[in-house]
Amino acid sequence: MKKNQSTILDKASIFYDTFERKAGTELKVTHYCPGCGHGILHKLIAEALVDFDVEDKTVFLSPVGCSVFAYYYFQNGNIQSAHGRDPAVGTGYKRANPDSIVISYQGDGDLASIGGNNILQAANRGENMTVFFVNNATYGMTGGQMAPTTLIGQRSTTTPRGRTVENEGYPLRMSELLSTLEAPVYIERVMLTDPKNIAKTRKAVRKAIKNQIDNKGFSFVEVLSACPTGWKKTPHDSVNWITEVQEQYFPIGVKKDVSEEREPIIVKRITPKYSDFHKVLDIQSLNDLPDVPKIPDTKNINEEIKIAGFGGQGVLSLGYVLANIGMGHNYAVSWLPSYGPEMRGGTANCSVKISDVRIGSPIVDNPTTLIALTKPALEKFENDVVPGGNIIYDSGLIDVAPKRKDVNVIPIKATEIADKLGSTRAANMVLFGVYSKLTGYLSQEYIKWGIKHIINKEKFNELNMNALNAGYEFGEK
């Protein structure tokens, strides 16, 4: 125990002297009802935070429930969160600020009902935070409706004849449920009934906080706590009801504890220098590489290319390489893959635009060049090609010729040629060779250099170059 060792008579220094955030004039008393357990639990937590000397670095999360106003009382950073979302809010906070101590303080409706998945997942990730779960078997703040922990037969404003198994199912035992998970370090259920049990609760509270300070991970303390107002009982009868009824279904005790054997988890973070950010982010321009070949002057062009075929034919990558090389020649470019309803049955196509002026729509409705690798692709796009445009198609794979007479039709057995050179996968490079020869605005030297760097796979380079040359020579004829 460190400084400020508290005695039972002291007010923990983490509590405000007057509760200025509270509405009304009674700024010295809490908003909790007589006989409610929250006050005791607040006090135990506050004393632990002070004793461990972490009050300044504590962030207290209070979601919807009676304890949503915990920030009236605790003088540390406070975050009030949406119903059930504390474990998520705490996760975000702790990840962003790992040196903090995060206390999540949740009620049963909040934690076990609306936020059920959030607590389960945070526990399962082993978030290094401490969760206090107040189980009072009712929705206190909204006026006594059924909670996921309401007992069978227990009346509430939404179970006026008592909770039934048939209609509402059984009460949730969260401590037992979470204990089945691998990640949590410590889970215990305690009850605020008598000095002996309050002392046990005090011990549990401290352990759960200490685990976080020691970076051991997720700790969870479920607290059976009286709600005389919700239960319509006197404070005295309420305490008796916890012992005689509630504890029968929710037995107190340690459900899981690996605090001793668990090694602290310290996240190490490397932060690069600002000057290295571009490198770290792989921000690299083709033309910033050494030995860029001479780039020809830009011409007045407006190429709209549609490349279409099946997935695996290199359709998208041909478009990508073409757009990249166009960009390297200082043209405006865009590349748009087939996307949405077009993507059916393995077909793939992309739209590439290359222009000396700003590109409007990136969608190619009417290609100046269609490169087709399959029959359905040819049939689908043939009629869209602008008069005087080009249709380059793989005549080894497509057994019909385009019907259009007003376009320039170039059949080439690209896949067959690529296969002879070593792999059908280079068919797209054969087609690139044909396209570049046909249109003539791209530098051959730059294309070869560019492909090497864009594809960046040494073992394919020779094949790609051979395929490109084959296409280029074909285009010459």
Q: Which of 286, 301, 438, 463 binds other proteins (CB under 8 A)?
A: 286
* Residue 23 exposed, middle or buried by CB count within 10 Å (0-12, 13-18, 19+): exposed
Candidates 114-122, 169-177, 413-421, 442-450 — which segment interacts with other proteins by CB under 8 A? 114-122
**For residues 78 and 62, is the Cβ–Cβ distance under 8 A?**
yes
Which residues inside 93-112 make contact with other proteins, applying CB under 8 A? 93-97, 99-101
**Residue 265 lies near other proteins (rule: CB under 8 A):** no
**Residue 361 lies near other proteins (rule: CB under 8 A):** yes
Sequence-distant (6+) residues with CB within 8 A of 42 are: 15, 30, 70, 73, 74
Q: Which is nearer to other proteins, 118 or 246 (CB)?
A: 118
| Rg from Cα positions in the chain | 35
User: What are 220's two structure tokens?
Assistant: 């969870």
Q: Which of 195, 345, 360, 388 binds other proteins (CB under 8 A)?
A: 360
Which residues inside 9-68 make contact with other proteins, applying CB under 8 A? 21, 23, 55-59, 61, 68
Which residues inside 143-162 make contact with other proteins, applying CB under 8 A? none
Candidates 135-143, 266-274, 369-377, 445-453 — which segment interacts with other proteins by CB under 8 A? 266-274
* Residue 24 exposed, middle or buried by CB count within 10 Å (0-12, 13-18, 19+): exposed
User: What are 467's two structure tokens?
Assistant: 């395929």
**For residues 109 and 147, is the Cβ–Cβ distance under 8 A?**
yes
288 DSSP 8-state letter:
G
Site string for other proteins, 387-426 (x = CB under 8 A): ----------------------------------------
Written as one string, the DSSP assignment of 123-182 is HHHT-S-EEEEEE-SSBTTTTSB--TTPPBT--BTTBTT-B-HHHH-PPP-HHHHHHTSS
**Residue 79 lies near other proteins (rule: CB under 8 A):** yes
**For residues 472 and 433, is the Cβ–Cβ distance under 8 A?**
yes
Q: Which is nearer to other proteins, 68 or 239 (CB)?
A: 68
Site string for other proteins, 319-358 (x = CB under 8 A): -x--xx--x----xxxxxx-xxx----------------x
Which residues inside 287-316 make contact with other proteins, applying CB under 8 A? 287-288
Q: Which is nearer to other proteins, 57 or 452 (CB)?
A: 57
* CB 343, min distance to other proteins, A: 9
